[in-house]
Amino acid sequence: MRFYRVFPHLPNAAPHDPGGALYRAPGGKNRADSPTPGSYSCLYVGDTPEGSIAEAFGRFDSWDAVVIEASPAVPALPGSRFALARYELPNTSTIRDLDDARAVLAEGLRPSGVVTRDRAVTQSWSAKIQATRRYAGVSWWSYYDAGWQSAALWDISSLVLAGRPRRLRVRDAEVRAAASTIVRRLIA
């Protein structure tokens, strides 16, 4: 399986350190984060570069160099820039696909509970699925376009970074495609 991620990158960071391509922030307020701090961490990825870009920047109405090429990407990481990474996960790893109606039913969910903005709901189903230890992660349709898949990976022991992360630029074809798909004003 191939995945992509937009993240604040530091070129000299070790892979699992802040700024590294495999860094997972400890818990938080995102969709599949553990409701119990320290229980597990997620690496959020998408199945396309465009979907990953939309997830990272979709909250902004307009995209320009100030947003896409921010320096630092996040204040806590001086020198960081947003980058796009590509990963490979062996097909032997199983992802719980909540875009499959049978899986949604088996988990006792309603489709509206999968992509809701109510984090108590989403973190609850995430914790329940993660606790089974049967899956490396969970996926669902993107909030921004149902044709894209988003995923949270709990077990990244088999995940391989495929090449070096590439710094994002406002003129990148993937940025333009993502902006067009989710109808964001692109100022290049």
Locate the domains of the chain by residue range.
2-186
pLDDT above 90: residue 61: yes
**Dihedral of alpha carbons 73, 47, 155, 40, sign:** positive
**Averaged pLDDT for residues 112-130:** 96
Window from 15-29, 66-80, 141-155 with minimum mean pLDDT: 15-29
pLDDT score of 25: 85
Question: How large is the average pLDDT for residues 99-128?
Answer: 96
Q: 153 burial class (0-12, 13-18, 19+ CB within 10 angstroms)?
A: buried
Mean pLDDT of 166-187: 98
User: In this predicted model, what pLDDT tens digit does every residue of 17-39 receive, in sequence order?
Assistant: 999 999 998 877 899 999 988 89
**What mean pLDDT do residues 7-24 have?**
97
Q: Looking at residue 186, what is its pLDDT?
A: 96
DSSP string, 65-122: HHHHT-SSSSTTSTT-EEEEEEEE--TTS-EEETTSHHHHHHTT--GGGTS-S-HHHH
Q: Average of pLDDT values for 71-96?
A: 96
What is the arithmetic mean of pLDDT over 73-100? 96
DSSP state of 4: E
In Å, how far are 128, 136, 174 from 113, measured between CA atoms? 14, 21, 29
* pLDDT value for 37: 85
Of 117, 146, 122, 138, nearest to 48 by C-alpha is: 146
In this prediction the pTM is 0.95
Q: Are 86 and 3 in contact (CB under 8 A)?
A: yes
Q: What is the DSSP letter of 12?
A: T
Confidence bin at 76 (pLDDT 50/70/90): very high
The pLDDT assigned to 105 comes to 97
Residue 69 has pLDDT above 90, yes or no: yes
Compute the radius of gyration of the chain from its Cα atoms. 16
Single-letter amino acid code for the residue at 110? R
> Residue 131 has which token pair?
């606790």
- What is d(CA 147, CA 118) in angstroms, rounded to the nearest whole number? 22
Average model confidence (pLDDT) for the chain? Answer: 96
List, as one string, the DSSP characters of 126-138: HHHHHHT---SEE
Are 183 and 62 in contact, with CB atoms under 8 Å apart? no
Q: What is the pLDDT of residue 188?
A: 85
pLDDT at residue number 29: 87
